[in-house]
A = this chain, B = another copy of it.
Amino acid sequence: MNTFDAIEQRRAVKHYDPAHQLSDDEINQLMSRVVLSPTSFNIQNWRFVIVKDPDLRKRIRAVSWDQAQVTDAGLLVILCANKNAWKDSARYWQTAPEDVRNFLVSAIEQYYDGKDQIQHDEAMRSCGIAAQTLMLAAKAMGYDSCPMVGFDFEQVGKLINLPDDHVITMFVVIGKAVKPANPRGGQLPLSEVIVHDTF
């Protein structure tokens, strides 16, 4: 599918065929694309929790405002990030010349070490970028998706045994739509969201 069509046709779909599952091969195709998303300094801080267990799905739905797409969509991906991914960073630059690698390892340490808010921002930023790759790749494979923040982050963390140094950033559900999204709700004009040079 053409990139512009994928961007235009991606909508937050809420109603899915609960009988339709994505195959392992499809999941692999999808996730192989998602990990081509950029991260700052290539730290690849995202961690994608793919929830298939129907019982776990039900328990997650119960703390997600009972939204049907949590159980009904073929795939539930909980986008998380490891706030400590910046550590042990030589492996992100193993193909680079040694001097470049050493420079980057040092720059990464300076950028993140002891800076909790920046590690946290990087979680949100990386996962936001990856979420759009996931949704557009899904669209190009004939699926629909829905990004979600309407859930109890703490309770979901407990249900998936989230490690202390990880954060949950959002959900994306993916599946076979049974009902299209409603028309767009009210788009701001470009003039309201674009600023030229300075505010």
Residues of chain A having any CB pair with chain B under 8 Å: 1-4, 6-8, 10, 12, 28, 31-33, 35-38, 40, 42, 44, 46-53, 56, 80, 91-96, 111, 120-122, 124-133, 135-137, 139-140, 147, 149-150, 159-163, 166, 169-170, 182-188, 190, 193-199
Contacts and interface: CB of A to CB of B under 8 A. Distances in A.
Copies in the complex: 2
A135 to B, nearest CB: 8
Contacts of A137: 3-4, 7
Contacts of A190: 28, 31-32, 35
Given A3-B137, A4-B33, A47 B187 contact: no
Nearest to A127: B128
Given A35-B188, A129-B147, 15 more contacts: A4-B137, A4-B140, A40-B147, A40-B149, A44-B193, A50-B197, A80-B195, A92-B188, A93-B185, A124-B125, A125-B127, A125-B149, A128-B131, A136-B136, A161-B199
